[in-house]
Amino acid sequence: MSVTAAAGFRAAGVVAGLKPSGKPDVALVVNDGPLSAAAAVFTSNRCKANPVLWSERTIADGRLTAVVLNSGGANCYNGPEGFQTTHASAELVAELTGGQAFDVAVCSTGLIGQPLDRPILEAGIRAAHAELSPDGGSAAATAIMTTDTVAKESTASGEGWVVGGMAKGAGMLAPALATMLVVITTDAVADAATLDAALRAATKSTFDRLDTDGCMSTNDTVALLASGASGVTPPAEELTAAVAAVCADLARQLWHDAEGAHHDIAIEVVGAASEDDAVEVARSVARSNLFKAAVFGNDPNWGRVLAAVGTTRAAFEPEKIDISMNGVKVCVAGGTQFGRPSTDVDLSGRDVHVLVELNAGPATATILTSDLTHDYVHENSAYST
Amino acid sequence: MSVTAAAGFRAAGVVAGLKPSGKPDVALVVNDGPLSAAAAVFTSNRCKANPVLWSERTIADGRLTAVVLNSGGANCYNGPEGFQTTHASAELVAELTGGQAFDVAVCSTGLIGQPLDRPILEAGIRAAHAELSPDGGSAAATAIMTTDTVAKESTASGEGWVVGGMAKGAGMLAPALATMLVVITTDAVADAATLDAALRAATKSTFDRLDTDGCMSTNDTVALLASGASGVTPPAEELTAAVAAVCADLARQLWHDAEGAHHDIAIEVVGAASEDDAVEVARSVARSNLFKAAVFGNDPNWGRVLAAVGTTRAAFEPEKIDISMNGVKVCVAGGTQFGRPSTDVDLSGRDVHVLVELNAGPATATILTSDLTHDYVHENSAYST
């Protein structure tokens, strides 16, 4: 159900023809109200795609009546026509739905640097509008997939209100948002400021902690729309918790579907002096190609973990760091004492848990990442594009 | 000739038996004087190997009479015995050469987290001492190889004096020194302060600009020893230039031998507001797995270059950035204008030149990196270890 789980929303996903594969590639989500409050966060990449440049402006007034999304082209770095195409698609949605273009967010995903075919996109938007349905959430979630192998949907419920969301993204997953498009809807009554606070709190501890390959996209967008159709105004903390639950679930689905991954690796740092330190250390490990290649080979190479920790500015003393892999403490006191043998570590399963104990304070953080595999190289080299 | 090109030095490389392959694995370089001035720089990784912890202390007084090096084990994070093994090897060299242990630098390379067999190492040191020769440079350069496919040696000459060097390193090549061991010798007359200044200037623009996989080693050491045997005191700038020439040559050899690389990629950033900005931008591109995988596939995916630039804090306006690949300007004004088609770019050769024009100032920098290949993944997964 995803984005149509909450009352007051209709959605659709159709085949426009932007993708050579002939798979669905245009999605539309419409908020039928009575409210049209919204919030959104975007990539922190300074080189932004056209739809991000557009949507950043449209969200400024805290209102959205629709989100139009396409796969099959990122509409990014593709000449002077690109922004006009984004603008035109918002105008068309406004015309079809009887709204204002400035209340329509636009999201695109796919290859960057390629023209996005405006006539095909516009025909797709008309087709999607014709198919809008309160049951269209799954079709929309399918239409935004690129190298995703499964559609990602999630819901959470409060007392008399619902939050639902959809996501796409499988590669280029990195902080300050993964390469992903996420639309979350709720029929709770909430104003834009409440939604904005809820969304920022939720993404900080979920999507921002996903770092599969250290690469940051140009198109990331996470939008949250409230219809108020339930008539229920939940406490802000309950709404935030529900949004966070949906974000966390979608983030885990993105993690499990990361391009070419053979292992889902959680890097948990405990005993840090601050949460920022914990994030910095966990992210450094998550970005070590040597460590990630070792995990691919089922090699519990904790020396590469410690080497990655050593490149950070976090507060710690090297000779106080303990490292465990899948529950086996292989490194004690920074390798100055003997831990259990690496041969006790079993990495043959999909899940890998790395615990780094800094013994420098009370703060913790976990970063979710993937191993570096032949499939990752294959999918991201020209052989696959 | 490498480290024995300069008068006053003897060297040797022998098979001790630390490597299962039976290849040479212990090297010794001895400075016969009359001077014993020296300088060294080390990894900036805060988790350091035992030989680095030792050698940082020995260089503090600006004197070295010998450097002992082993491959077949990094002597890093391997329990309480590790530092004692490093110490014992320096003591043995001092005993054999009639010097002081505190004038002996120790370098180790190989797997981290493994015990280093002290009896085998000591037997190797004795064997190397017995074979010391003014022609032993190449044997020493061979004995420090790990996954290197070729020994790396270089020389440069002044008027009546010589600089020579050897290096090892093929993976984990990143800033603040690659995973590498480098010993450079000169028969010029120079004091420790002059050598230190020359070495730091040289490494800053050479080894520190090599970033093949973003991973920083625990063992990196670059040592520069002066025997004064030529009797010539060159101007400091001439000595610095010669040391820089040797470092640049060795860095290029390391680059060309990077683990699993199919392309040697130079990321040149021009028009930066500062050199630091130029380095940050070039390094960000050099660390983009998506970009590096694309190059492996001969795909001139300049959008991934621009996306990597966008993650930096450097001064620039996105819509002013131009990008060329192998001489073809594929991105004009940050993708807001059309560049030449990517199909004009030929990446089929080994050499790839990426030119990023920030149009924000006068500063430039170049980072040398490699593509992300199946061979890299293979060599660094357990299948190869």
Question: B103 and B41, same structural domain?
Answer: yes
- Residue B326: CB atoms within 10 A of its CB come to 17
* Contact in structure between A321 and A364 (CB atoms under 8 Å): no
- Does residue B265 contact residue B368 with C-beta atoms inside 8 Å? yes
Q: What is the mean pLDDT of residues A311-318?
A: 93
Length of chain B: 385
Angle between helix axes B275-286 and B302-309 (nearest 10 degrees) is 130
Kindly state the average pLDDT of the residues A285-291: 90
Among B256, B273, B307, which residue terminates a domain?
B256
pLDDT digits (tens, 9 = 90+) for A9-50: 999 999 999 999 999 999 999 999 999 999 999 988 888 899
- pLDDT tens-digit readout, B280-334: 999 999 989 889 999 999 999 898 899 899 889 999 999 999 999 999 999 999 8
Dist. CA A96–CA B271, nearest whole Å = 47
| A55-112 confidence digits (pLDDT tens) | 999 999 999 999 999 999 989 888 778 999 999 999 999 999 999 999 999 999 988 8
Nearest CA in chain B to A314: B46
CATH code for the domain in which residue B81 is found: 3.60.70.12
Angle at B142 between CA B137 and CA B147, to 5 degrees: 150
- Partner residue opposite B307 with nearest CB, options A47, A296, A381: A47
The arithmetic mean of pLDDT across residues A267-284, rounded, is 96
Q: Please give the pLDDT value at position A192.
A: 96
Give the structural domain span for B73: 2-256
The count of CB pairs under 8 A between chains A and B is 205
Active-site residue (options: B65, B179, B221, B369): B179
In chain B, residues with a C-beta closer than 8 Å to the C-beta of A337 are 79-80
CA distance B87 to B75: 11
**Domain co-membership, B123 together with B90:** yes
Q: In the Cβ-directed half-sphere of B367, how many Cα atoms lie within 13 Å?
A: 30
What percent of chain A is modeled with pLDDT above 70? 96
Residue A351: count of CB within 10 angstroms of its CB? 11
pLDDT value of residue A173: 47
User: Do the chains contact at B383 and A297, CB–CB below 8 Å?
Assistant: yes
What's the Cα-to-Cα distance from A134 to each of A3, A184, A225, rounded to whole Å? 9, 15, 15
Indicate whether B138 and B185 sit together in one domain. Answer: yes
Q: How far is residue B121 from each of residues A121, A162, A252, B118, B166, measured CA to CA in Å?
A: 69, 68, 48, 5, 21
| pLDDT for A179 beyond 70 | no
Q: Which of A172, A309, A377 sits opposite B374 (nearest CB)?
A: A377
Query: Is residue B243 domain-shared with residue B94, that is, in the same domain?
Result: yes
Residues B249 and B314 in one domain: no
- Name the residue facing A77 among B78, B82, B303 (closest C-beta): B303
State whether ipTM is beyond 0.90. Answer: no
Higher pLDDT, A363 or A147: A363
pLDDT of residue A177: 40
Average pLDDT, rounded, for chain A? 91
The per-residue pLDDT for A217 is 79
Give which of A179, A150, A166 is closest to A28, Cα–Cα.
A166
Between CA B258 and CA B179 the distance in angstroms is 11
One domain, residues B101 and B9: yes
Contacts of A245 (CB under 8 A, 6+ apart): A154, A156, A163
- Tell whether the model's pLDDT for residue A385 goes beyond 70: no
The answer for residues whose C-beta is within 8 angstroms of residue A250's C-beta and 6 or more apart is A152, A153, A154, A165, A166, A167, A182, A206, A207
Q: Are residues B223 and B308 in the same domain?
A: no
State whether A221 and A305 are in the same domain.
no
B291 and B191 within one domain:
no
Marked catalytic residue, from A4, A65, A142, A179: A179
SS3 B177: coil
pLDDT band at A6 (very low <50, low <70, confident <90, very high): very high
Gap from B264 CA to chain A (nearest CA, Å): 16
The whole-angstrom separation of Cα B223 and Cα B345 is 41
B380 in a labelled binding site: yes
Tell me whether residue B194 is annotated as binding: no
Mean pLDDT on B253-264: 88
B179 is catalytic: yes
* Judgement on whether residues B174 and B279 belong to the same structural domain of the protein: no
Residues in chain A, overall count: 385
Taking the C-alpha atoms of residue B226 and residue B67, their distance in angstroms, rounded to an integer, is 12
Among A171, A1, A294, which Cα is nearest to B213's? A294
Please tell me whether residues B19 and B130 are part of one structural domain: yes
Q: Of A256, A281, A313, which residue constitutes the final position of a domain? A: A256
CA–CA distance, A290 with A167 (Å, rounded to integer): 30
Angstrom distance (rounded) from CA A163 to CA A327: 35
Cα nearest neighbour of B74 on chain A: A303
Q: Report the CATH number at residue B358.
A: 3.10.20.340
**What pLDDT score does B44 carry?**
81
What's the total number of domains in chain A? 2
Question: Distances in Å between the alpha carbon of A363 and those of A156, A204, A281, A379, B69?
Answer: 28, 16, 12, 37, 40
Q: Does the beta-carbon distance from A215 to B383 stay under 8 Å?
A: no
- CA B294 from chain centre, in angstroms, equals 26
Q: What percent of chain A has pLDDT over 90?
A: 73
Q: Check: CB of residue B196 under 8 Å from CB of residue B184.
A: no
Q: What contacts B13, CB < 8 A, 6 or more positions away?
A: B24, B26, B27, B28, B128, B136, B138, B139, B140, B141, B142, B143, B144
CA distance A287 to chain B (A): 9
Residues A206 and A300 in one domain: no
Contact B321 A47 (CB under 8 A): yes
Mutate to test the interface with A, among B46, B50, B358 (most CBs of A within 10 A): B46
Residue at which a domain ends, from B192, B227, B256:
B256
At A171, is the pLDDT very low, low, confident or very high (cuts 50, 70, 90)?
Answer: low
Q: Is the pLDDT of residue B53 over 80?
A: yes
Query: Is the pLDDT at B258 greater than 90, yes or no?
Result: no
Å between A307 CA and nearest CA of chain B: 6
The pLDDT value given to residue B11: 98
